[in-house]
Amino acid sequence: MTTQAVSIPFVDLKAQFQSLRGELMDAIESSIESMQLFLGPNVHAFEREFATYCETADAIGVGSGTDALILALRACDIGPGDEVITVSHTFIATTEAIVILGARPVFVDVDPVTYNLDPDKIEAAITPRTKAILPVHLYGQPAEMGPILEIARQRGLRVVEDACQAHGARYMGKRTGGFGDAAAFSFYMGKNLGAYGEGGAVVTNSAEIAEKIRLYRNHGSETKYMHSVMGVNARLDEIQAAVLRVKLRHLDEWNRARRAHAASYRAAFAGSRVRAPIEADWAEHVYHLFVVQVDDRDRLMQQLGEAGIATGIHYPQPVHLQEAARQYGRGEGSLPVTERIAKHIVSLPMYAELTAVQIERVVSEVRRLA
């Protein structure tokens, strides 16, 4: 007997859309109807709502998470000749933002348990040119901000958080985004809070940084055709802001669902060959991605694919070994933890709308095949 297995996608954006279809379409329609499509009421309201959500003084809507990183670093006066300490085990945008400002990324290895910047390895990477630390809250788990902030305070460094995967995550009870001088969020569609196009935000408790970013994102202009600094076009658009306002009201409930799915996965993988992610005591992880490690990752992915279960690798090649970034790193062997985990990690399906039946199927196939 053969049973035709139903396929399980890696993320299911359609399921989320169906659950909010009426509200979303109304928001989009009324935004267009109003024809206030340039830094208008939805962007302003979303900025207030997102700042409140992140427990920060301010939020500035921008064009993408990458824009948010670039503008946050620029507002912290990072520029040519400066060094920024960051990780190689991340999406390339973290490094791109540093490089595009003329600064130099200095890669530090990650902690093998949390997959985040290892605070014990920061000191050795500091030089007289070091200006900032850029930790990433990877997969939705906050970086260990306590020791990072302490080093930054002692050494007079800026801290910018890459929170593009960690909307709503908490470190010691406090939301990510409010720890450093500024933090960057992405609203790329697959993120825990995703637009239907591009979008991002910088959150900050500094009025000075907020003011600079409001200028930079809009051609350095406060008054039409009057430009006080050289900026860019990195505005969040009204339609995306309207969508994000609807979705923000559901973010905590979606994150709770992700955490519950992660707990089911973790319990089911206990005692198997699958190394499930570990949530640090101080973390409230929001599981943007559910990443496990296995011995033979490529074979597992292939066989899961044949069984109709989609998976991903985040990320298959560390940034310091990418052709685009090799010149900034110290090559193969320089970041042993980063390089080792890149060979074993695999991301399993994770989204709020996953059902118990789907999770059960992923678990039984992974346990059987790993």
Q: Which residues bind ligand PLP (CB under 6 A)?
A: 64-66, 90-91, 93-94, 136, 162, 164-165, 186, 188, 200
Cβ neighbourhood burial of 230 (10 Å; 0-12, 13-18, 19+): exposed
Closest to ligand PLP by CB, 43 vs 268, is: 43
Q: State the Cα–Cα distance between residues 119 and 109, nearest whole angstrom.
A: 9
Provide, rounded to whole angstroms, the least separation between the CB of residue 306 and ligand PLP. 28
Residue nearest to ligand PLP (CB): 65
Pairing label, strands 345-348, 58-62: unpaired
For the record, the structure tokens of 95 come out as 């490094």
Closest to ligand PLP by CB, 164 vs 346, is: 164
Closest to ligand PLP by CB, 187 vs 269, is: 187
Please give the C-alpha separations between residue 364 and each of 72, 265, 276, 350, 356, in angstroms, as whole numbers. 44, 10, 14, 16, 12
User: Looking up tokens 């406060």, which residue turns up?
Assistant: 222
User: Looking up tokens 């005591």, which residue turns up?
Assistant: 281
Closest to ligand PLP by CB, 164 vs 366, is: 164
Q: State the Cα–Cα distance between residues 295 and 146, nearest whole angstrom.
A: 33
Provide, rounded to whole angstroms, the least separation between the CB of residue 334 and ligand PLP. 21
Provide, rounded to whole angstroms, the least separation between the CB of residue 100 and ligand PLP. 12
Q: State the Cα–Cα distance between residues 356 and 53, nearest whole angstrom.
A: 29
Provide, rounded to whole angstroms, the least separation between the CB of residue 1 and ligand PLP. 43
Provide, rounded to whole angstroms, the least separation between the CB of residue 227 and ligand PLP. 25
Report phi then psi at 201, rounded to 5.
-155, 150
Provide, rounded to whole angstroms, the least separation between the CB of residue 193 and ligand PLP. 11
> 137 near 176, Cβ under 8 Å?
yes
> 89 near 338, Cβ under 8 Å?
yes
Neighbours of 116 (CB within 10 A): 24
Closest to ligand PLP by CB, 86 vs 358, is: 86
For the record, the structure tokens of 157 come out as 């460094």
Q: State the Cα–Cα distance between residues 326 and 349, nearest whole angstrom.
A: 31
Please give the C-alpha separations between residue 157 and each of 123, 149, 260, in angstroms, as whole numbers. 12, 9, 37
Q: State the Cα–Cα distance between residues 9 and 6, nearest whole angstrom.
A: 10
Q: Among 241, 181, 163, which residue's Cα sits nearest to residue 57? A: 181
Closest to ligand PLP by CB, 186 vs 204, is: 186
What are the residues facing 159 on neighbouring strands?
133
Closest to ligand PLP by CB, 325 vs 369, is: 325
Closest to ligand PLP by CB, 169 vs 370, is: 169
Provide, rounded to whole angstroms, the least separation between the CB of residue 67 and ligand PLP. 7
Provide, rounded to whole angstroms, the least separation between the CB of residue 86 and ligand PLP. 10
Provide, rounded to whole angstroms, the least separation between the CB of residue 72 and ligand PLP. 11
Closest to ligand PLP by CB, 90 vs 293, is: 90
Closest to ligand PLP by CB, 194 vs 274, is: 194
Q: State the Cα–Cα distance between residues 117 and 84, nearest whole angstrom.
A: 13
Provide, rounded to whole angstroms, the least separation between the CB of residue 98 and ligand PLP. 12
For the record, the structure tokens of 315 come out as 């990320």
